[in-house]
Amino acid sequence: MVERDAEAIAILGGTGDQGLGLALRFARAGRRVVIGSRKADRAVAAAEEVRAKVPGARVEGYENAEATPLAGIVILSVPFEHTAATVKGIREALRPGQIVVSMAVPLATAIGDGAVRTVGIWQGSAAELVADLAPDGVAVVSAFQNVSAHRLQHLADPVECDVIVSGDKAPREAVMALCALVPGLRGVNGGPLANARIVEAMTALLIGLNVRYKVPEGLGLRLTGLPEA
Amino acid sequence: MVERDAEAIAILGGTGDQGLGLALRFARAGRRVVIGSRKADRAVAAAEEVRAKVPGARVEGYENAEATPLAGIVILSVPFEHTAATVKGIREALRPGQIVVSMAVPLATAIGDGAVRTVGIWQGSAAELVADLAPDGVAVVSAFQNVSAHRLQHLADPVECDVIVSGDKAPREAVMALCALVPGLRGVNGGPLANARIVEAMTALLIGLNVRYKVPEGLGLRLTGLPEA
């Protein structure tokens, strides 16, 4: 059993392409990773996959609500249409001081339309929907929407992408620090959580660009002219 | 009097920072530029400013509706809140086959709020509003929203920014070719005009980043992983 560890990173939906990619990268950086899934056995299998690719990785797999209390930062990497249900399912397991990271994008695939468009969210963005559902004292941060799963999983190369991180200052900076663990990722201060409205939509634009330019490994984004940290 | 010239580029609102920057860059690339303004004398003064900075520049200044018929591509570089009125004012001067470029961003400054947020446009984006108002046979393309005026005007340096260009294929490609005239600018196929909804919002995000990172010259955007043209 993994004990509660503020330095650990939980990745719910860590069996999916993007969540697994983050798990591989954070484990490779030496961080303890807790993979969550709706089914514990799938999470355990994903953890084994991480260990196979990253020798010495500290990684465990659990059902989502069991994984949640074990880490300081809980990344939601479930498909957008499962986001609300997932947050409701872990609500009782979250504790004040924890940080929940929303990387969901409200793609129109959720309503049977295409991935190059989004649907409108009443709260403004998927991240603000998560914030609406999260218990008091739990900070919600928006990040990682535009990072290619393929690039994350291809451990030999840097990811070459800026991550626009939005939310309140202290949790935002904690998530920006996570970005620095991954070669080629750079966390950028994206201001208040409501800016997730823009960042989430950018993913739909990038998906269209990936199709038009035939880049199955996924394009990345860089800001030019940013002062060195 | 400048005669009608399909290779000429009209820039309405070319007396403003961003329009003047584009005028400088296109003139420097050897293209004939027609600056438009609500007042002809201001357009004439801006044309003189371009000639002073770009020796040999072919540039003239006219009132907007007089400038409009002189060029194949008409760039709208007026503040967002004047966009609809400007299009209505040049409607009779536009001819089938011309291309109108919308670079407007519906910043919330239009309603007395801040530049880091946008207002909703009934048609979906400022570019689609322009398309709604443009006469039949005139193509509307969305581009240049995210290009820093400061960087455009600083002729000594490349601009270092990707321009996401959205609209129908032939006019979109014509505008992407304009981007290639400016060192450091790269036109990127942004798909259908409706994607301007995303690109316009990105400007508000960039403005916030410019403030937070204290970059008065303005950040740029690059896509990473794009195949070479």
Q: Is A88 exposed, middle or buried (0-12, 13-18, 19+ CB in 10 A)?
A: exposed
Chain A contacts of B195, Cβ < 8 Å?
A: 205, 208
A149 at interface of B, judged by CB pairs closer than 8 A: no
DSSP for B161-189 reads EEEEEBS-HHHHHHHHHHHTTSTTEEEEE
pLDDT digit string, tens, across residues A179-197: 999 999 999 999 999 999 9
With cut-offs at 50, 70 and 90, classify the pLDDT of residue A150: very high
Question: Do A36 and A67 form a contact (C-beta atoms < 8 A)?
Answer: yes
Q: What is the pLDDT of residue B6?
A: 85
Question: Using CB atoms, which residue from A199, A215, A225 is nearest to B215?
Answer: A225
pLDDT digit string, tens, across residues B86-100: 999 999 999 999 999
pLDDT digit string, tens, across residues A64-114: 999 999 999 999 999 999 999 999 999 999 999 999 999 999 999 999 999
Mutation target vs B (from A205, A211, A226; most B CBs, 10 A cutoff): A205
> What per-residue string of b and e applies to B185-212 under the rule 16 or more CB within 10 Å gives b?
bbbbbbbbbbbbbbbbbbbbbbbbbbee
A108 at interface of B, judged by CB pairs closer than 8 A: no
Are the beta carbons of B223 and A202 separated by less than 8 Å? no
Regions of chain B where pLDDT drops below 50: none
Mutation target vs B (from A154, A172, A188, A198; most B CBs, 10 A cutoff): A198
Q: Is A94 exposed, middle or buried (0-12, 13-18, 19+ CB in 10 A)?
A: buried
Helix ranges (DSSP H) in A57-195:
64-67, 83-90, 126-133, 149-153, 169-179
Q: What is the pLDDT of residue A1?
A: 52
Q: What is the pLDDT of residue B1?
A: 52
Q: What is the pLDDT of residue B124?
A: 98
Question: Do B93 and B67 form a contact (C-beta atoms < 8 A)?
Answer: no
Q: Which residues does residue B118 pair with via DSSP β-bridges, in sequence order? A: B107
pTM for the structure as a whole: 0.95
Mutation target vs A (from B117, B173, B223; most A CBs, 10 A cutoff): B223
Q: Angle, to 10 degrees, between the axis of helix B126-133 and the axis of helix B196-212?
A: 140
For residue B221, give the chain A residue with the closest CA.
A223
Average pLDDT over residues A8-21: 96
pLDDT digit string, tens, across residues B162-177: 999 999 999 999 999 9
ipTM of the complex: 0.92
